[in-house]
Amino acid sequence: RVTFDQTAEDDKVRQFLIERNVSMDLKRRVMHLLRQERKRKRMMMKMEDVRKFSLLSPTMMRKLHWEMYEPILTSHPLLYHFDNEFRSFFTELCHAAVSELGILPGHEMFQYGMKAEFMYFVANGEMEYKPVDTALYIRPAMEICPGRWVCEMPLWMDWIHQGTFRAVEPTMVVRLDAEGFRRSVKARPAELSTCQKYAVLFEERLVADRLL
C-alpha cells in the first residue's frame, strides 16, 4: 500500500513538472530530493520526534540520555573511563552536551576550513572522512562506521577542520559539544585533572602524526 501511494505521488510530481516545462536536469534533482526525504523518514527516530518525552522529569531524562548514549560514547577510552569511575559526571555529560542528527547520503556534517565545535560518533549507517590533500601527497578517504569517531580535537584546543565529513548512506550521528564538555569538566576537580593529563598525551600524538 505504501509503495503504491509513493509511486502515485511520484507520478503526480513528474506530471506537474512536465506541465510547467521544468528542465530535465531540475526534474532529476527534484525527484532525487524527494526520494532522499523518504529515506530520511525511514531512518532511526530521534528523541525530538517523540513529543511525549517533554513530559518526563529531569531525573528521568538524564537516565534516558545515559542509556541512549552510553553504548556509543564509551567506544572512546576516556569516556569509557568516565562512565566507570565518574558515573554522575558522565550521565550529566550525556544529558547536557550530547545530541543526535540524522544525515542523508551525500550531505556533509562539516567541510574543510570550518571551525570545529563537536566530536562526532557514528551510531548507525556509514560516514566518510576525506582529509584535504596537500602539495606532497593525496590523502585517502576513511570509512567511519558504528563504533568509530572523528574530530576529538575541539575538546582540547581550538581547531579548524582539515577535511570533509559526509554521509555515505542514511546515518545517525551522535555529537559531543566541545564547549559543553569543557564547561562540565571545569566544575569537577578530579575529572579536570584526568582531562589535563589526557590532553597532554593527545597533543603529543598530534605532533607525532604531524597534525600540529
pLDDT at residue 24, as a whole number? 87
Q: Inform me whether the pLDDT recorded for 155 exceeds 50.
A: yes
Mean pLDDT for the chain overall: 87
Number of neighbours of residue 86 by Cβ within 10 angstroms: 16
pLDDT at residue 73, as a whole number? 97
Which of these, 143, 163, 144, lies nearest to 153 by C-alpha position? 163
Residue at grid coordinates 575529572: 191
Q: Inform me whether the pLDDT recorded for 136 exceeds 70.
A: no
**One-letter amino acid of 168:** V
Q: What is the pTM of this model?
A: 0.77
Q: Pull the grid cell for residue 131.
A: 582529509
Q: How far apart are alpha carbons 4 and 177 in whole angstroms?
A: 42
Per-residue pLDDT band for 179 (boundaries 50, 70, 90) equals very high
Q: How far apart are alpha carbons 98 and 82 in whole angstroms?
A: 15
7: β partners: none
Q: How far apart are alpha carbons 61 and 21 in whole angstroms?
A: 51
Q: Is residue 75 within 8 Å of residue 64, measured between CB atoms?
A: no
pLDDT at residue 41, as a whole number? 57
Helices and strands (H, E) in the chain, number of each type: 7, 8
pLDDT at residue 19, as a whole number? 85
Which residues neighbour 149 within 8 Å (Cβ) at sequence distance 6 or greater?
75, 76, 119, 120, 121, 122
**One-letter amino acid of 84:** N
For 69-121, what is each residue's pLDDT tens digit?
999 999 999 999 999 999 999 999 999 999 999 898 889 999 999 999 999 99
